[in-house]
Structure formats: C-alpha cells, structure tokens
C-alpha cells in the first residue's frame, strides 16, 4: 500500500496518514507484525515533516494499532482492547449517523452502505446487492 498525502485537503497530514494506515490494516494491506517505514524514510517518500510522521505513529500507538520499538521502528500490532474500540466506533458513528439523519438518509440506506463497506474491507470488493 502506498501512503500519500492530499496537500489540498483540510484534514491534518498526520490524520490522513493515520487513517490510511488504519484502512490498510482493515483491508489487509498491512498485517500484524508488518513494519512501517522509518519516520525519516516515510517523511522523505511523501514529502512531509518527520515530526508529522512521528505524531501519526504516536497516535497509532495510543490507539493500539502499532507498537514502537527502538530497534524495529513502528510495527503493526493489533492488540487493541475490543471494548474500547467498540466505544470509540460508537462515538464516531454517532456523529456520522446524526449527519445522515439531518440529510434524510434512511435506515435502509445506512444499513446498505455499512454492509457494502464491511464487505469491501473483508473481501476486497463490495457486495453488489441492491
């Protein structure tokens, strides 16, 4: 998986990087034990400051997606406490669902979208059911 930064996005660079790595884990582009590039290497590859990459790696460590090892660097590690992960997801989804309700998106449309995205992450291709 190639990590890229959208320099025109309003989203902070470190968050873009975190989100791409999390998506990479979900789609199995990154697996348990896979090393991530060193802070310096990744910063040079994508054209951002090393401190930005370091901030992204630190946040991923806090959230339980990577371990930081002085010898190995950042390594994918999925030892996240499931209850904490579910609660974080609940909080994130609450805002997303509230926005959808404000835009008259139906329960059925939400379920269909969630099913499609879930299938995409698990199988590599979205379920085309209508």
What are 11-64's pLDDT values in tens digits? Answer: 999 999 999 999 998 888 998 889 999 999 999 999 999 999 999 999 999 888
> Higher pLDDT residue, 81 or 71?
71
Q: Is 93 helix (H, G, I), strand (E, B) or coil?
A: helix
User: pLDDT tens, 76-116?
Assistant: 987 656 667 777 888 999 999 999 999 999 999 999 999 99
CA dihedral 19, 25, 29, 30 (to 10 degrees): 110
Whole-prediction pTM? 0.66
Of 18, 8, 7, the residue nearest 88 (C-alpha): 18
Please report which helix (H) or strand (E) contains residue 102, including its range: helix 82-102
The fold for domain 13-76 equals: Arc Repressor Mutant, subunit A (1.10.10)
Residue 88 and residue 47 in contact, taking contact as beta carbons nearer than 8 Å: no
Domain ranges of the chain: 13-76, 82-123
- Measured distance CA(21)–CA(107) in Å, rounded: 29
Six-digit token pair at 46?
A: 């994508």
């Amino acid at each position: 998986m190639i990590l890229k930064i959208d320099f025109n996005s309003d989203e902070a660079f470190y968050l873009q990087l975190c989100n791409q790595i999390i998506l990479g884990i979900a789609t199995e582009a990154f697996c348990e034990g896979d090393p991530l590039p060193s802070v310096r290497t990744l910063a040079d590859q994508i054209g951002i400051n090393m401190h930005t990459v370091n901030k992204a790696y630190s946040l991923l460590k806090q959230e339980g997606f990577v371990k930081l090892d002085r010898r190995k660097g950042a390594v994918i590690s999925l030892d996240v406490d499931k209850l904490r992960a579910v609660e974080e997801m609940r909080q994130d989804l609450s805002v997303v669902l509230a926005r959808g309700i404000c835009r008259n998106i139906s329960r059925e449309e939400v379920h269909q979208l969630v099913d499609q995205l879930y299938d995409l992450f698990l199988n590599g291709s979205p379920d085309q059911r209508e």
